[in-house]
Amino acid sequence: MTIREFVALTQRELLKWIRAPIGIVSSLMLPFFYLLLFGQSLNLGKLLSIGGVPPQEAAAIYLGAPDYFSYFSVGMVGFIMLFTGLFAGANVIFARRFGTLKKETAAPVPREVIFGSRVTAGVLRGVIFGSVVFAIAIAFAHLPGLNGLTITGTSGVVGVVEIVLAMAFVTALFSSIFIGLGFLTEQIESYFALVNLVNLPVLFSSNALFPTSLFPSWLQNIAAWNPVSLAVDVMRENCFGSEAYYPYTALQYLGLLAGITLVFLVVFAAVVRWSLRPR
């Protein structure tokens, strides 16, 4: 009957999420303002043309995306995945503080279910957030005076499935780490300090905001293995049909991301089990 417990606990997490609409809106505000302000003001294309980079080469820098905003907005989807994952563990600390975790641990629920249901809820939140960010970016293309996301890829349903899986895997990866940390940390202050510690380095060492060909080589090497980059690569290849610009196919990136995610899930499930042992 583990599935029933799993579904019930996941449902609880999602109900709590839906019932805090202010939290949902404020989570979406950050990517929204990035798209509305940062994405509009930073016109990398213009900078490149001022620098004398011919349009052909600029397209190579964007890895096949039609313009910088299109390139960047798919990166923002990766950013909201990271963001959702980083905050997934805060609920654990509140659950401990408000006593609800005690009820779960006193019940005959496998510890993996306590962990897995939270990761799953995080993934569902991430995929929904990611889809909303996609929708906003695409909508911008139809609004006068705004740059927007132009989809030029033609991979159809398979592409959509790959994009959704990439969103799911990368959220699962960061959710598992931070839910694990939520079980290990008692103080919300320490938890948010960790979130801040991880947030910017992971974001800026990924390809989410800027083309990695502009990075120094050491940072390029890090960015290539950054899970956010892997997910964004899958999404960009599918959005812009730009396999020619990448060394690997979207499916290969997806496979690598899935493998890394699985390792983190297994490790942090064990961490959570350990943290909940009788002491």
Enumerate binding residues for another protein (CB under 8 A).
Answer: 1, 4-5, 7-9, 12, 15-16, 19-20, 98-100, 102-109, 184, 186, 277-279
Distance, CA of 248 to chain centre: 21
The three-class DSSP label of residue 88 is coil
Of residues 186 and 189, the one with the C-beta less far from another protein: 186
- Cβ at position 79, least distance to another protein in Å: 27
CA distance 110 to 116: 10
Phi and psi at 74, nearest 5°, equal: -70, -35
Of residues 231 and 269, the one with the C-beta less far from another protein: 269
- Cβ at position 12, least distance to another protein in Å: 6
H helices of 54-155, where?
55-61, 68-87, 90-97, 100-106, 111-141
- Cβ at position 236, least distance to another protein in Å: 37
Of residues 112 and 243, the one with the C-beta less far from another protein: 112
- Cβ at position 275, least distance to another protein in Å: 9
- Cβ at position 129, least distance to another protein in Å: 20
Residue whose token pair is 């895997």:
169
CA distance 45 to 47: 5
74 and 35 Cβ atoms separated by less than 8 Å? no
Q: Which two tokens stand for residue 147?
A: 């740059």
Of residues 11 and 221, the one with the C-beta less far from another protein: 11
- Cβ at position 158, least distance to another protein in Å: 36
Of residues 79 and 115, the one with the C-beta less far from another protein: 115
CA distance 191 to 206: 23
Residue whose token pair is 């947030």:
199
Of residues 101 and 230, the one with the C-beta less far from another protein: 101
